[in-house]
Amino acid sequence: MKKIINKPEDYTKDFVEGLIKAHSDKYQLLDDDFRMLIRKENPKTDKVGIVTAGGSGHLPLFLGYVGDKMLDGCAIGNVFASPSSSKMEKLIRECDYGKGVLCLYGNYGGDNMNFDMATEMTDFDDIKTLKIAVKDDIASAPIDKKDQRRGVAGIVYAYKIAGAAADKGYDLDKVSMITKEALENIRTIGVALSPCVVPEAGKATFEIKDDEIEIGMGIHGEAGIEVKKMMTADKLAEQLTDKLLEEIELKENDELSVMINGLGATPLDEMYIVYNRLYDLLKDKKVNIIQPHIGNFATSMEMAGLSITFFKLNDELKQLLTEVSSTPFYTNFNK
pLDDT digits 0-9 by tens, 48-79 = 999 999 999 999 999 999 999 999 999 999 99
In whole angstroms, what is the distance from residue 71 CA to residue 19 CA? 16
Determine contact, residues 36/73, Cβ cutoff 8 Å. yes
- Please tell me what DSSP assigns to residue 93: H
Span 28-38, average pLDDT: 97
Cα distances (angstroms) measured from residue 248 to each of 75, 133, 196, 292, 319? 32, 20, 30, 17, 20
Please state, rounded to an integer, the average pLDDT across all residues of the chain. Answer: 96
Q: How far apart are CA 168 and CA 272, in angstroms?
A: 34
Interatomic CA distance for residues 193 and 304, integer angstroms: 5
- Please tell me the predicted confidence (pLDDT) of residue 42: 74
Tell me: pLDDT of 334 over 80. Answer: no
Q: Which residues contact 89 (CB under 8 A, 6 or more apart)?
A: 117, 118, 121, 122
For residue 148, what is the DSSP state?
G
- Tallying the residues shown for the chain, one arrives at 335
**Over the stretch 257-306, which tens digit does the pLDDT of each residue have?**
999 999 999 999 999 999 999 999 999 999 999 999 999 999 999 999 99
Catalytic residues: 58, 220
- With bands split at pLDDT 50, 70 and 90, how would you rate the model's confidence at 331? confident
Min mean pLDDT across 112-116, 219-223, 315-319 is at 219-223
Mean pLDDT, rounded, for 184-211 = 95
The domain segmentation of the chain, as residue ranges, is 8-183, 186-332
pLDDT(317) > 90: yes
Distance of CA 291 to CAs 182, 204, 278, Å? 15, 35, 14
The candidate with the shortest Cα–Cα distance to 61, out of 114, 108, 113, is 108
Residue ranges with strand state E in 285-333:
288-289, 293-295, 305-313, 325-327, 330-332
Cis peptide before 60 (omega within 30 of 0): yes
CATH number of 8-183: 3.40.50.10440
Nearest CA to 293 out of 188, 176, 218 is that of 188
Q: Which residues of 69-94 are buried (b: 16+ CB within 10 A; e: fewer)?
A: bbbbbbbbbbbbbbbbbebbbbbbbb
Q: Where are the beta strands (DSSP E) in 207-289?
A: 212-215, 226-229, 255-262, 288-289
d(Cα 106, Cα 100) in Å, to the nearest integer?
20
In this structure, the strands spanning 186-192 and 129-134 are unpaired
Q: 298 near 156, Cβ under 8 Å? A: yes
Average pLDDT over residues 229-243: 98
Q: Which pTM was predicted?
A: 0.97
186-332 CATH = 3.30.1180.20
Asked if pLDDT for residue 335 goes beyond 80, the answer is no
- How far is 325 from 48, CA to CA, in rounded Å? 16
The mean pLDDT of 33-55, rounded to a whole number, is 92
